[in-house]
Amino acid sequence: MHGSRWRWLGCLFALCLVGVCRGETLQLYTEEYPPLNFAREGRPTGMAVDLVRELLERTGDGARISLVPWARAYREAQGEAGSGVFVTMRTTERESLFKWVGPVAVVITSFYALKDSGIAIESLEQAATLESIAVPRQWYSYQELRSRGLDNLYVVSGPRQMMDMLRHRRVPVVVADNVTLANLLALGGLRPEDVEPLHGFLRSEAYIAFSPATDDRVIAKWQQALDSMKVDGSFALIYRRWLPGPEIPAGLLDTPGRP
């Protein structure tokens, strides 16, 4: 009788050890936002996907990575503990909606027009006088421009519609960032040399955002793993493989204004 009891306790202890070794099982969401994250032959890939997979290896956690429309990813990641979305721009409006691991990318968001448009913008005040500016409603840049009082925003369903409208001159100006510009333009049959930046109005940092219900120990573990990658150079290798030109984000402790 006592032998059976001890064997049962021994099996339970072994199962607990396996659970600790395996770490957390997370549900992570991402979207089509190349080259940071996108689908290739039905599988998630991109700079941020490579980074997340390395972080999973270092933390010992497991995860299901689902590539879904941004609105769903953003909504689902605010739900149950252990859910998250990447990449997400960290803004004042979003600060309390998530727990943050990063930064994993730095982007400069600007207004863009076709090269022969003759449009010149040097400030948000000038941008506010334009007939219209196309931007997807769910983007952080839409939230930012609305918060700054621009009421001439032409809301579109996504970047494909936005770039297609620019190519056919149905809107004079669109909003995009320097990291994903080439890929977004291609959705509308355009190339970087077809457009010109008019005014860079926002510098943002992209993060991995977790549900606020996620255990703080998970957040700390992921942040520590990311910081160690920045120290040992493995982060820069992944970043430069996908993004040879844009600025590499600093470590968390080197970033002004971060806790």
Whether 133 and 196 share a structural domain: yes
Domain-embedded: residue 48 = yes
Whether 44 and 165 share a structural domain: no
Whether 113 and 190 share a structural domain: yes
pLDDT in tens, 15-26: 333 333 458 899
**CATH code of 87's domain:** 3.40.190.10
State whether the Cα torsion 12-14-18-24 is positive or negative.
positive
Range 77-82 average pLDDT: 94
Domain-embedded: residue 18 = no
Give the range of the structural domain holding residue 120, as residue numbers without chain letter.
107-203
Is pLDDT at 256 greater than 50 in this prediction? no
pTM (whole model) above 0.75: yes
* pLDDT at site 218: 97
Give dist(CA 62, CA 24) in Å, integer: 6
pLDDT in tens, 23-66: 889 999 999 899 999 999 989 999 999 999 999 999 999 999 99
Domain-embedded: residue 9 = no
pLDDT in tens, 105-162: 999 999 999 999 999 999 999 999 999 999 998 889 999 999 999 999 999 988 999 9
Give dist(CA 148, CA 202) in Å, integer: 12
* pLDDT at site 251: 63
Whether 152 and 172 share a structural domain: yes
Strand 133-136 relative to strand 43-45, pairing? unpaired
Q: Under a CB-based contact definition with an 8 Å cutoff, are residues 78 and 98 in contact? A: yes
Domain-embedded: residue 17 = no
